[in-house]
Amino acid sequence: MKKTLFILVASLIFSTKVSAQGCYFGNSTLPTINLRSSSGNQQFDAINQREYQLLVNIFNIHPNFFYLLDQGAPNAYATSEISNPNFPDGTVMLGFSLVQNECLNSPSGTCSSVPIILAHEFGHIIDFKYHTGLTGKYKELFADYIAGSYLYHRANTIGSINIQEVANSFFNKGSYDFNNPNFHGTPQQRFSCLNAGYLLAQQYNISGQNLSLPILMNAAVQYVRQF
């Protein structure tokens, strides 16, 4: 599938290179005017639907999924708002521009960071559903930790993912803008949480133990609180 995702996204939308994040809306109203249930490309939709289903199977949560017209501001979002009663765990949105931006910065041409950014948004959904009590940057770092655990599972079971590219992507999304209400953590903190989640999943797999969601969540909460 090398370069396939990039080619598909490039055919859908063009955007300039801008820094991208992965965020949460909390209980804010969904920006329905910019949401799409389909990208308009069946192959691209199938790729993302497969990833979505794998995340659902691993974490046993069921958010709705939309594409987001995020021109000029590449991003992905999660919210606890239920947009469809058949998907009771909130809503996840993946921006077209974000996907293209990540693919443009993928030396391997695999767009490896995109599935893990989606996993980050699932991390927010887990946070919403189980009420971790975390606030501010700690919610973002918690989602990074969850994404790290998925990164190990994804690389170990499916492959076709460049772990170093993912690490670089998350590192580059950190900042030192401590007074910004949207502060997501420093580059070092974001990488550290992603790496810690990866190592925990690896440890459990090697030892033949089941990494349950409660164990993963507790480890994530305890880890991010050090920052």
pLDDT digits (tens, 9 = 90+) for 3-18: 333 333 333 333 333 3
pLDDT of residue 2: 39
Average pLDDT over residues 216-224: 99
112 φψ region: left (φ > 0), alpha (ψ -120 to 50), beta (else): alpha
Higher-scoring residue by pLDDT: 18, 191: 191
Residue with tokens 């909390």: 26
If we measure between CA atoms, which residue out of 135, 162, 144 comes closest to residue 21?
144
pLDDT of residue 157: 83
CA dist list (Å): 204 to 23, 64, 145, 198: 28, 29, 15, 10
Tokens of 121: 């948004």
Higher-scoring residue by pLDDT: 96, 125: 125
Average pLDDT over residues 185-212: 95
pLDDT of residue 6: 33
> 46: burial class by Cβ within 10 Å (0-12, 13-18, 19+)?
exposed
The least confident of 21-35, 39-53, 142-156 is 21-35
pLDDT in tens, 138-190: 999 999 999 999 999 998 888 778 888 998 888 877 766 554 556 678 889 99
Domain ranges of the chain: 4-224
> What does pLDDT average to over the chain?
84
Quick one: what percent of the chain has pLDDT higher than 70? 81
pTM: 0.85
pLDDT of residue 29: 58
pLDDT of residue 81: 93
Residue with tokens 């991390």: 123
Check whether 224 has a pLDDT greater than 50.
yes
What secondary structure letter does DSSP report for 32? G
